[in-house]
Structures are given as structure tokens and as C-alpha cells.
């Protein structure tokens, strides 16, 4: 951080260069913001402490103010912290120290205070010169082993001292004691949790790293506040544990008691976390005086050392349950804790869920154990090195004594000990174990090092007794065993996890306490989804990334060839690029251009009118970033139907891939990698499928291919990060724009041809009968554009014809000029995957379209909607579109302007008639000014004209 806030050097020519005020403000404010975020406001996920708390604990340990020592003046500790580590004023340091000593603020106190440290009523603590403090026992689990190279140190603010970057915490303090802080542009608010539950969850995650959030929530059902209270429901807890954000509703613990013969009272024994008891009572009194709450005759505080007790005495005629409900509604007896689990992870702010925090702690603690083992190993090897010298000296004591006696001084004796080669038979295995690089070994002889020679010269004569010689050998054996144990810890992840488990169990025995906060399912834990009225919605997504849902019955059915209605109020050139209809309670998968998948319920999408803009997708999917949503997939409403289903992916470059739908059942809020895409490629569609069905791909240049889904043609991919296989070979400039899944029908080429002739003849006869019955209805009855004369014939029995008719699927193809036609799926032969495909439509007349917009299956009785690039939309019954040959160029479905093009086509599963307004067979055109107020009835209410028919 010092690099960001160094003052300019007037002698540096770079610092003398002029800069704009905007650049200077931007860089300076960024430096300030980063300093506040990293150095003051946010806790570290590893030890759960902000810098000021970490410095207080470390300074008190260095000064010897530990739990086994007498209390010392708080001013002494504050002075040490301010003078050495935290130059931000004594008041901020003392306030932080006081909070760590308050039992109603911390779930596990880290400071043991003596004196007036404030109260739950909001009373200020006594001045630091009057109070005394020392470290609490729990602090030892945060500070132990800090002098064994377990964490990194950094220089203090004036580089005269060093301070730890983080404490080697033995338990997840961030979850146990929570944190709150306001930085620049971000804030954190983490609730406290039960220490025993947090440690048990950590042990469970060590045992099973694949444990799910549901598994962890069986151990940690929710926050556990030091003031007790009742948490209402689990929905907010689930959201907070899953995403790091959520609102946890809390309620005071209150009971109704008979205090006298004819009087009752509401007794409050626990209040929500961070609620000021005195302010709460004042608020109740104000509401009683204002007569917003009636039935209260008196309120008094009977709290003492044994616990909290607020007595709200009621009038004789008051109903206690009614008064209590009013208190919950109007006072802080019921409030919410807004969880925002934002902490520093590897020096960067990150919002984390429950499992993320525990995983970060486990990774950190394993690193602490590894570093401690390496430190202890070096110490043990150093001690072993000296013991080797002592063992050699004891084994050769007569020669050693003779050498020392004949030496004129200590230096000569030391050099003599080092120069001579000693018998190393007894210590040879130990030399290899301790990796001793100082001793020079020659066969069975060894030369002593200077450190060993000094140790021999300093050896007391009493160490030469038989008992002392055994002690030296015994210590050497202990060092060898310790080295072996440390090497096992360093070399084995499993062993490090065992050490972590043992230390967590030890910490649990010291700091675990019973749960104080109750979690109630009966108090308002009602799912939002149960309040949503089921119904069909049309969901639209614009090119600029705005999404909305609109009730399906808002759109009225029109005949083909109509002018449509304005679909959305547009800003600039924004247009609708994707639409679909779904039930309010359905899950919807969103697939981004970057290949990621997101999941959301339809009812959670913003509801708006057809002319409204909607809401930006980045607000619903915060981790979407700059990617665009390129494919959406409503999932079956019944989740039991998900198991046998697969997903088939298609890209614009012609690639396809098949995965199990269950691979996308659990998707994090940040999304899930769905498909690996090459540069310039994008997802154009995703559909559900089953084994044996057919994949149908269509391109904008009117090519298509149909192949069956089998393990040989399109296997199930095990992973989600592959790019798939080739589905269709594209010509230059062409790209895939439609994907659908068709049912496979085993029929020969002759059977399909015979069926098409018979079916087309039947349709022409039915159309002719309809014309004769209603001669006023103008229809396009020109000959088929393909020029093919379809006559009934072929070897096809009546039973086989009826069977194929029941299995027939009809595909609708629409061009950018608003032309389209329906064709039988039998007209598309099944071929192998990866070929060039066949023609899908004849595009010889530019007025009928230059490109195919979409090809999709349709059912009689349903409608389709078409959207243009200027935002107009029309809903057309598919029954009004003729079934023609595959290569026919079609008829007019949507009358568009010269500079207008159809950009999106999607099916509507319900047909809504509007006969009373439109008249039988008529079309109502509605023109809406995009700049008009959507709430203005005149903007879109009056029909402009009536017309019918087709372009001919």
C-alpha cells in the first residue's frame, strides 16, 4: 500500500509533469479506497480479524498480558498498540478492545476485561485509565505458534517493528465472532455462530471435502447470537449460507406471565442482536404515549447479573397476544440482520458463503501446520546435530579428555576435536535422518563441526555419569522420533488433516458453549413461491441485456399478415432478440456467450408490461460480467422428469454436444461452466432430449441436417468443459441459427414419399372444402412453390398412413422478410452427423427473404410470435400457415417495412382468441409510440385500422 500513497517527489521530473484534476482525483481516491479496504475496514477470512483487532491481540501477547497473568491497565495496552502498530488514535483502538471484551457483542470473548466495559443499554465504557484487561483464554487459540514461522510478518508503519499479516488461528474466528465494517464502496456484516457447531462443521468438511451446503447446514442450522433471541425461518439463512448475502429475521424471546391476580405482563428475556435495550424501551414508551400501541400500563427493566428481564405490564382488559404482535410490528423486538459475508481472501475482497469460508480456513490452517512442522524440523535437526557430537564425545570420553587436557587453550582444544576423525558407528543412521551437512563422514569415521566441538567443551562433568549418558542417548532417540513425525506431517496431506482435526477438537473442548439462539420454522417461514399465482408468462430478452416477464394473456391472437403491436418501449437501437413462454414456477437455465450456465425461477424475473424496458440481466446474474445470454431453456415443471433427460447443445459454428440434465441440477449463483467454446463461436440453442430422438439443425443460408441421437452418433459427454463434435458442415459465411429435437420414426424412403403425397392431397382437399364453405375468406391457394405434383400413391396401407399421421411433426420456417411455411418432418430425411445437410427453403426471391430466421416445430392450436428489429411483435395461429414442401418459399406471415426485418420467432403454447374485439377472422393492428408513457391508455389502446388477407 505504501507504493500507492507515497508523496510526490518535487525533484523527480515525472512528478513534475502536469496531470488533469480528474486523473489525480481518480488515482488518489483509488489509493485511499484500497488502503481503507485492506488496512482498516474488512476482516481477513483466515483469522476473522481486522488489522486493529489483530494488532491489539499481538501487542498484548508481546507485552505479556496473557490469561495466566494479572490484569493490566487498558491504557498500557492501548499505548503499546498505538506506538508500535496502529497510529490511528487511541479512541479507535480502545473501542475495538472494548468490543472484544463485551459478552453481548462477541460470541467468544477475546479480551478478559475488568471494570466498566459498557452495557447492552448502550452505556459508554469507563476511560481506559480506569479499566484493566488481559487476553482471554480463547485468544491463545488465535496466537499460539506465532513465533514458529507459521505466518508472514511485515514492517509496521515506521518500519521500526514487525507485525503479523495474519494470526495462526486454530478455529474459524470469522464465523464464530462475526464482523462488521464499512469500507469505500463496500461493507461487511457477518453474524456470529456457535463455536462448537462451527468447529464440528469444519471437522465434517475435513472428513468429506465434497460435503454439500445441506450437509453443513445440518451441523450449523444458522447464526447463534450472544444475545439469544429467535430466528424466524430458514430462508434467509439458506440464502446467506449459499451466496454470502441474505436477510435473517430475528425476534425477541417473550413470554406472557401472570404477575398479579388480575394482571398479566409480557416478559422479555432475550432481544435481537445489536439492539440497544434502553432505546428499545424508550421506543415502546413513545408508542404507548402516541396510542399506537394500546393495552400497556407500565414498562420497567428488572435486568440484573442473572440475566435480562424487561417487564411490560398490561392493562386489565388488554389481550396479551395482540399487544405482543403490535410490539413485534412496531419495535425492534423484531428486526432483521442483513448478512453480507464480505472478507479479504488472499488480499482481495470476496463475498463468500458458508462452505467458502470453511474451505478458506482449512487451506490456511493446513499451511500453518506445514510451516510449523518445517520450523520444528529445523530446530529438531539443530538439536540432533549437537546431540550427535555429545554422543561421540561420551563414546570416546577418554580420548576427548586427553585431547582437552593436553591442549594449551580452548581454541586449540576445539580445533583438535574438529581435526580428529571419530568413530561414527553409533550415530551414522542419525546423521542421515537429520540431513546433517556439517559433519564430514569418511567411512565409519566422522569429523565434528565447530558447533559440536563447542558443545563438547561446554559439557559438564556430571553429564559423564552413567545416568546422564543414558539421558543423552534417550534425548537423541526422542529427537529422532520427533524428526520422523515431523517428516510425516510435511510429506502427507492426510497427516496434516489429522493434526488439524486434533487441534480443532482441543479448541472445541475449551470454547464450545450451548446454542443461545433458537431457530423457529413456525414463525413466518413461508416460501415466497407459495404466494405466486401460477400462470403462463412470456419472457423476453433484448439485445442490450434487459429481461422481463409479461402475462401471456396480454398478447392477443391475430391472423397472419397483420401489422402486429409494439412489443417494448425501446431506447436507441435496443430490440428483442430472444423470447419464450414458461410457467411461473418453472426453472429456467440461462446460457451465456462465454459458455456459462445460470439458473433462476420464472417468478423471480421482473414482471412488466409489453411496452416496458425490463431489468438488466447483470442485476439478476451479478457474475454475468460482459457476456451476453445466448440461449435459454425452461426446464420441466416436475423435477422428477429431469432424471431421464439429456441436454443437447448447438453452436453457431455447427458444433453439438450431449450432456445429462443432472449435470446442471446444482448451479451456484456465480454460474457454472456449461460448454467450452472456441474463439468467435457462441451457443445458439440448448434443448432437452432422450436417447433415440433426432437432432435437427438449420442454418441462416437455408441448409439443414437431421441425425439420430445414439451413442454412436452423439455420445453423452461426461464433462461440461469440452467443445463437443461437429453437427453440420457449413459453407463459408453460413452459421447455425436453429436447434430442435424431433421424435424418431422408423419409416423407409418409399413410406415417407408415399405418406407425403397422401397427406398433401388430404390437406388440399380439406383446404378446398373450407374455401367452398366460406368463400369470403381470402386464402393463398396457389400451386406449391416447389412445382412438385403431389399425388396419392405408393405402397402404404390405410393403417400405416394413420399411424404415421399420429406421429407426424410439423416444422415452421420463417425468413427475415416475414415469409414462412410449414413442412412435415417426414420431408427431412435422417442422415449421418457432420454432413453438409439438405436444402431447407428456396431463397431465390429477395422480397421473400434473404436469410432464414428460425426453424421450429409447431402444433395445431398453438400460436407463434414474431419480433422485428424495430420492436414490433405479432402473434399468429400456426393453423393459418399452410403445410408445403420443404423447398417452398412460403407465404406472408408478417407484413414488414422495406427497412424492417424479422429477428426472432418463438412458439406460444396457448392460443388466446379475441373475437369480441377483433371480429371473426379479423386482424387488429395496434401502433404504439415508443416514447409514450406505457401507463397511458391512449398510447396503445385504440385500434388504428382493420385489415385481412395476405400479400398474395
Q: What is the pLDDT of residues 435-455, one digit of tens each?
A: 555 555 555 677 778 888 888
Q: How many CB atoms are located within 10 Å of the residue 879 CB?
A: 15
- Both ends of the chain: CA-CA distance in Å? 74
The alpha-helical segments, DSSP class H, found in 492-564 are: 493-511
CA distance 652 to 595: 13
Give me the phi and psi of 627, to 5 degrees please.
Answer: -70, 155
Distance of CA 915 to the CA centre of its chain: 49
Q: DSSP letter for 664, please.
A: G
Phi-psi region at 616: left, alpha or beta (left = phi > 0; alpha = psi -120 to 50): beta
Contact 586, 681 (CB under 8 A): no
Q: Which of 891, 944, 947 is nearest to 919 (CA)?
A: 947
Angle at which helices 90-100 and 74-84 cross, to 10°? 130
Contact 724, 833 (CB under 8 A): no
**Angle (CA) 337 35 158, round 5°:** 130
CA distance 370 to 376: 10
Residue linked to cell 481503507: 36
Phi-psi region at 594: left, alpha or beta (left = phi > 0; alpha = psi -120 to 50): alpha
Q: DSSP letter for 570, please.
A: -
Residue linked to cell 492501548: 78
CATH class, domain 42-169, is: alpha beta
Q: Could you tell me the three cell numbers for 59?
A: 501487542
Contact 172, 103 (CB under 8 A): no
Label the pairing between strands 230-232 and 518-520: parallel
3-state secondary structure at position 218: helix
**Angle (CA) 478 481 484, round 5°:** 150
CA distance 871 to 580: 16
Contact 710, 689 (CB under 8 A): no
Phi-psi region at 678: left, alpha or beta (left = phi > 0; alpha = psi -120 to 50): beta
Res 777: pLDDT: 45
CA distance 102 to 95: 11
Contact 337, 247 (CB under 8 A): yes
Phi-psi region at 908: left, alpha or beta (left = phi > 0; alpha = psi -120 to 50): beta
Whether the CA torsion 609, 613, 619, 622 is positive or negative: it is positive
Res 604: pLDDT: 74
What Rg, from alpha-carbon coordinates, does the chain have? 40
Res 260: pLDDT: 83
CA distance 340 to 243: 9
Rounded-to-10 torsion of CA 553, 555, 557, 561: -170
Res 23: pLDDT: 75
The DSSP secondary structure of 49-112, one letter per residue, reads --HHHHHHHHHHHHTT--TTS--EEHHHHHHHHHHHT--S-HHHHHHHHHHHT-TTT-SS-SEE
Q: Which of 832, 897, 840 is nearest to 869 (CA)?
A: 897
Q: Which residues of 581-606 are buried (b: 16+ CB within 10 A; e: fewer)?
A: bbbbebbbbbbbbbbbbbbbbbbebe
CA distance 531 to 127: 54
Res 766: pLDDT: 81
Give me the phi and psi of 445, to 5 degrees please.
Answer: -110, 155
Task: List, for the chain, all residue ranges whose pLDDT scores fall below the cut of 50.
Answer: 1-5, 524-528, 531, 569-570, 572, 776-793, 909-952
Q: Could you tell me the three cell numbers for 762?
A: 388430404
Whether the CA torsion 165, 171, 174, 178 is positive or negative: it is negative
Give me the phi and psi of 675, to 5 degrees please.
Answer: -160, 140
Q: Catalytic pick from 32, 85, 130, 328?
A: 130
CATH of region 253-332: 3.30.1360.40
Contact 706, 650 (CB under 8 A): no
Label the pairing between strands 672-673 and 596-601: antiparallel
Residue intervals in the chain for CATH 3.90.199.10: 42-169
Beta strands in 615-654 (DSSP E): 615-616, 629-634, 646-651
Contact 715, 707 (CB under 8 A): no
Q: Which of 429, 335, 329, 427 is nearest to 387 (CA)?
A: 427
Residue intervals in the chain for CATH 3.30.1360.40: 253-332
Q: Could you tell me the three cell numbers for 234?
A: 430458514
pTM for the model stands at 0.56
3-state secondary structure at position 464: helix
CA distance 350 to 43: 11
Q: Which helix (H) or strand (E) holds 770?
A: helix 749-773
Q: Could you tell me the three cell numbers for 655?
A: 458444433
Q: Could you tell me the three cell numbers for 504?
A: 480443532
Q: DSSP letter for 307, please.
A: B
Q: Could you tell me the three cell numbers for 804?
A: 404415421
CA distance 421 to 416: 10
Contact 524, 232 (CB under 8 A): yes
Give the CA distances from residue 500 to residues 48, 364, 489, 504, 550, in Å, rounded to whole numbers and listed in that order.
Answer: 18, 11, 11, 6, 54
The alpha-helical segments, DSSP class H, found in 341-492 are: 354-395, 397-406, 410-419, 428-433, 450-457, 466-491
Q: Could you tell me the three cell numbers for 641?
A: 422428469
Contacts of 487 (CB under 8 A, 6+ apart): 377
Q: What residues form DSSP beta bridges with 907?
A: 864
Query: Is 58 among the residues known to form the active site?
Result: no
Q: Which of 846, 185, 831, 170 is nearest to 510 (CA)?
A: 170
Amino acid at each position: 500500500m505504501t507504493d500507492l500513497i507515497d508523496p510526490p517527489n518535487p525533484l523527480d521530473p515525472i512528478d513534475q509533469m502536469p496531470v488533469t484534476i480528474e486523473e489525480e482525483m481518480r488515482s488518489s481516491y483509488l489509493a485511499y479506497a484500497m488502503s481503507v479496504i485492506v488496512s482498516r475496514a474488512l476482516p481477513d477470512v483466515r483469522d476473522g480479524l481486522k488489522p486493529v483487532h489483530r494488532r491489539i491481540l499481538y501487542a498484548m501477547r508481546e507485552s505479556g498480558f496473557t490469561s495466566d497473568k494479572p490484569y493490566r491497565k487498558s491504557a498500557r495496552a492501548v499505548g503499546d498498540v498505538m506506538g508500535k502498530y496502529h497510529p490511528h488514535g487511541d479512541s479507535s483502538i480502545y473501542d475495538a478492545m472494548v468490543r472484544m471484551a463485551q459478552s453481548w457483542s462477541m460470541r467468544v470473548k477475546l479480551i478478559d476485561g475488568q471494570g466498566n466495559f459498557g452495557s447492552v443499554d448502550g452505556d459508554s465504557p469507563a476511560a481506559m485509565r480506569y479499566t484493566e484487561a488481559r487476553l482471554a483464554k480463547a485468544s491463545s487459540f488465535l496466537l499460539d505458534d506465532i513465533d514458529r514461522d507459521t505466518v508472514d510478518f511485515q514492517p509496521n508503519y515506521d518500519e521500526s517493528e514487525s507485525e503479523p499479516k495474519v494470526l495462526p488461528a486454530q478455529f474459524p474466528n470469522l464465523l464464530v465472532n462475526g464482523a462488521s465494517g464499512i469500507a469505500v464502496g463496500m461493507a461487511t456484516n457477518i453474524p456470529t455462530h456457535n463455536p462448537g457447531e462451527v468447529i464440528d462443521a469444519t471437522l465434517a468438511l475435513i472428513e468429506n471435502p465434497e460435503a454439500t451446503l445441506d450437509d453443513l447446514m445440518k451441523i450449523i442450522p444458522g447464526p447463534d447470537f450472544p444475545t439469544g433471541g429467535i430466528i424466524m425461518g430458514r430462508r434467509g439463512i439458506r440464502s446467506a449460507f449459499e451466496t454470502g448475502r441474505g436477510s435473517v429475521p430475528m425476534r425477541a424471546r417473550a413470554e406472557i406471565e401472570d404477575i398479579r391476580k388480575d394482571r398479566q405482563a409480557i416478559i422479555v428475556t432475550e432481544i435481537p442482536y445489536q439492539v440497544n435495550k434502553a432505546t428499545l424501551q424508550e421506543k415502546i414508551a413513545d408508542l404507548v404515549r402516541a396510542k399506537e400501541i394500546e393495552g400497556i400500563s407500565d414498562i420497567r427493566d428488572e435486568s440484573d447479573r442473572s440475566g435480562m428481564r424487561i417487564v411490560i405490564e398490561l392493562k386489565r382488559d388488554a389481550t396479551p397476544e395482540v399487544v405482543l404482535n403490535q410490539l413485534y410490528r412496531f419495535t425492534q423486538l423484531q428486526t432483521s440482520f442483513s448478512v453480507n459475508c464480505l472478507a479479504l481472501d488472499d488480499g482481495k475482497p470476496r463475498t463468500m458463503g458458508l462452505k467458502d469460508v470453511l474451505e478458506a480456513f482449512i487451506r490456511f490452517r493446513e499451511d500453518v501446520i506445514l510451516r510449523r512442522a518445517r520450523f520444528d524440523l529445523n530446530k529438531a535437526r539443530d538439536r540432533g546435530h549437537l546431540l550427535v557430537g555429545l554422543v561421540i564425545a561420551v563414546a570416546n570420553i577418554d580420548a576427548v579428555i586427553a585431547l582437552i587436557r593436553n591442549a594449551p587453550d580452548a581454541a586449540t582444544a576445539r580445533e583438535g576435536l574438529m581435526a580428529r576423525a571419530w568413530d561414527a558407528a553409533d550415530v551414522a543412521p542419525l546423521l542421515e535422518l537429520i540431513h546433517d551437512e556439517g559433519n564430514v563422514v569418511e567411512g565409519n569415521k566422522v569429523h565434528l563441526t565447530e558447533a559440536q566441538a563447542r558443545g563438547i567443551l561446554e559439557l559438564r562433568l556430571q553429564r559423564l555419569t552413567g545416568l546422564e549418558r543414558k539421558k543423552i542417548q534417550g534425548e537423541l532417540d526422542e529427537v529422532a522420533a520427533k524428526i520422523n513425525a515431523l517428516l510425516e506431517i510435511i510429506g502427507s496431506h492426510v497427516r496434516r488433516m489429522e493434526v488439524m482435526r486434533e487441534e480443532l477438537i482441543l479448541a472445541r473442548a475449551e470454547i464450545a458453549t450451548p446454542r443461545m439462539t433458537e431457530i423457529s420454522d413456525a414463525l413466518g417461514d413461508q416460501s415466497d413461491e407459495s404466494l405466486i399465482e401460477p400462470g403462463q408468462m412470456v419472457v423476453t430478452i433484448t439485445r442490450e441485456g434487459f429481461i422481463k416477464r409479461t402475462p401471456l394473456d396480454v398478447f392477443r391472437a391475430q391472423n397472419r399478415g397483420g401489422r402486429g403491436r409494439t412489443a417494448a418501449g425501446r431506447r436507441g437501437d435496443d430490440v428483442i432478440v430472444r423470447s419464450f413462454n414458461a410457467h411461473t414456477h418453472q426453472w429456467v437455465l440461462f446460457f451465456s456467450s462465454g459458455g456459462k450456465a445460470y439458473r433462476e425461477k420464472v417468478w423471480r424475473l421482473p414482471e412488466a408490461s409489453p411496452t416496458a424496458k425490463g431489468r438488466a440481466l447483470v442485476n439478476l446474474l451479478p457474475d454475468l460480467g460482459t457476456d451476453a445470454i445466448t440461449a435459454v431453456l425452461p426446464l420441466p415443471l416436475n423435477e422428477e422428469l429431469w432424471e431421464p433427460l439429456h441436454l443437447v447443445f448447438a453452436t453457431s459454428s455447427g458444433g453439438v454436444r450431449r450432456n445429462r440434465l443432472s449435470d446442471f441440477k446444482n448451479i451456484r449463483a456465480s454460474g457454472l461452466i456449461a460448454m467450452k467454446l472456441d474463439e468467435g463461436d457462441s451457443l445458439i440453442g440448448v434443448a432437452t432430449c432422450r436417447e433415440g430422438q433426432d437432432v435437427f439443425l438449420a442454418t441462416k443460408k437455408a441448409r439443414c441436417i437431421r441425425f439420430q441421437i445414439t451413442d454412436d452418433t452423439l455420445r453423452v459427454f461426461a464433462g461440461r468443459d469440452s467443445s463437443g463434435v461437429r453437427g453440420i458442415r457449413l459453407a463459408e459465411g453460413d452459421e447455425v441459427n436453429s436447434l430442435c429435437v424431433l421424435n424418431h420414426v422408423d419409416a423407409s424412403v418409399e413410406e415417407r414419399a408415399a405418406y407425403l403425397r397422401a397427406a398433401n392431397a388430404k390437406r388440399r382437399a380439406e383446404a378446398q372444402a373450407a374455401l367452398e364453405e366460406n368463400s369470403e375468406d381470402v386464402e393463398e391457394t396457389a400451386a406449391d412453390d416447389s412445382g412438385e405434383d403431389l399425388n396419392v400413391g405408393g405402397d402404404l396401407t390405410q393403417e400405416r398412413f394413420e399411424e404415421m399421421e399420429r406421429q407426424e411433426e410439423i416444422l415452421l420456417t420463417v425468413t427475415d422478410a416475414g415469409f414462412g411455411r410449414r413442412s412435415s418432418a417426414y420431408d427431412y430425411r435422417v442422415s449421418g452427423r457432420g454432413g453438409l445437410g439438405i436444402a431447407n427453403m428456396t431463397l431465390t426471391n429477395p422480397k421473400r427473404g434473404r436469410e432464414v430466421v428460425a426453424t421450429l416445430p409447431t402444433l395445431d392450436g398453438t400460436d407463434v410470435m414474431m419480433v422485428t428489429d424495430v420492436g414490433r411483435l405479432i402473434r399468429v395461429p400456426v393453423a393459418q400457415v399452410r403445410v408445403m414442401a420443404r423447398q417452398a418459399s412460403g407465404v406472408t406471415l408478417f407484413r414488414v417495412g422495406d427497412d424492417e426485418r424479422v429477428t426472432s420467432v418463438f412458439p406460444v403454447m396457448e392460443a388466446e382468441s379475441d373475437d369480441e374485439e377483433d371480429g371473426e377472422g379479423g386482424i387488429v393492428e395496434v401502433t404504439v409510440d415508443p416514447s409514450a408513457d406505457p401507463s397511458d391508455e391512449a398510447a396503445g389502446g385504440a385500434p388504428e385500422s382493420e385489415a385481412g388477407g395476405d400479400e398474395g
